[in-house]
Amino acid sequence: MNAQQYIQWLNNPYQLTAENTEALKDMISEYPYLQSARALYLKALNQQRSFLYNSELKKTAAYTTDRDVLFDYIVSENFVTYKPLHIEDLNVVDENYIEFKKPEPTLDETIEKRVLDTLVYIENQDKETELFHKIDQISKSKIEANKLDKENALIEEKQVAKEVPSEEIHQLEENLEVGKPLDFSENDKFSFTEWLKLTSAQPIQRETTEISNENIKPEEKIIVEETIPTKQKNMDLIDRFIETNPKITPSKSAVVPVINTERLNEDEPFYMTETLARIYLEQKKYQKAIQAYEILILKYPEKSSLFANRIFDIKKLQEFNNI
């Protein structure tokens, strides 16, 4: 990769291929603080609908100095829209007019062919020897396995294996869109901030200078009252509602659950979105995800059947994960 090719990718990100994506990944490994490369790599993953998009978005946010700029970028039309490459039609010359003469082999080519044939023969002999060695090892392992089978037969009969229906779990995750890229909209800025807060990424450790206050007089000390950020207040508001709101048990027939609206504060469901509900689900906070969809039922009654089905699927997925 050279500078001219990199500039071309920045101007035309829709031309990125899977091979180009790997090249960008290597560049990020070598230059982790190159924000333009991270944004371009993020665009390529979203274009390919890769399952690595969500985790890479967290890393990009950690390395970004201004997350508001990153948010505006991932919700912009240029980022979301996919434009396929335009292939021009070229005139093909009729094959009847093409004359092809096979060149006669030279002496060097004949010698080269003999050397290659010899190497292929030696390689085949090595593979055959390796195959016989593997067969011998398999035969010995089978004899030892038969001896162990008789000893382990009684132990296996007493053990009770708990089988988790993997196909059913996979189907539930498909229904709930677990692992799929989170599509943020302009109204999901609070959800985006909360999602970044819930990540397991550790903050960058910076050296701090400790100042001794032994020589400071008591009358010179100033008490500073810490203020809680507005976003943190909003999140605490939603968490408090989720903890106090009663549990709901939906049925398979997608009956709309009944929620105690008297205990619902008007400001609490204001910040709740489908994206935030999915964030709780991605973090395996199933109880919060259930309560989030209960709030969404009140906000969007026309989607109550869909949200009730998702509550039912989340509870089943929670049971399987507790096995």
Query: Which of 21-30, 277-286, 304-313 is the most confident on average?
Result: 304-313
**Count of alpha carbons within 13 angstroms of residue 97, beta-carbon side:** 3
Tens-place pLDDT, residues 307-316: 999 999 999 8
Which residue has better confidence, 70 or 270? 70
User: How many helices (H) and strands (E) would you count in the chain?
Assistant: 13, 0
Which residue has better confidence, 323 or 168? 168
Q: What is the DSSP letter of 76?
A: S
250: helix, coil or strand? coil
| Mean pLDDT, residues 290-310 taken together | 90
Going from the C-alpha of 33 to that of each of 37, 63, 161, the distances in angstroms are: 9, 6, 48
**Confidence grade of residue 32 (pLDDT, cut at 50, 70, 90):** confident
Segments making up each domain of the chain, as ranges:
3-80, 104-159, 182-197+229-323
Tens-place pLDDT, residues 105-159: 555 566 666 767 776 777 777 777 777 777 777 877 777 777 777 777 767 655 5
The pLDDT value recorded for residue 133 is: 76
| Mean pLDDT, residues 276-294 taken together | 88
104: helix, coil or strand? coil
Q: Are 248 and 294 in contact (CB under 8 A)?
A: yes
Pick from 6-15, 33-42, 61-70, 308-317: least confident: 6-15
Determine the Cα–Cα distance for residues 305 and 297; give it in Å rounded to an integer. 8
- Percent pLDDT > 70 in the chain is 56
**Confidence grade of residue 202 (pLDDT, cut at 50, 70, 90):** very low
Going from the C-alpha of 233 to that of each of 88, 206, 265, 313, the distances in angstroms are: 56, 27, 14, 30
Predicted TM-score (pTM) of the model is 0.42
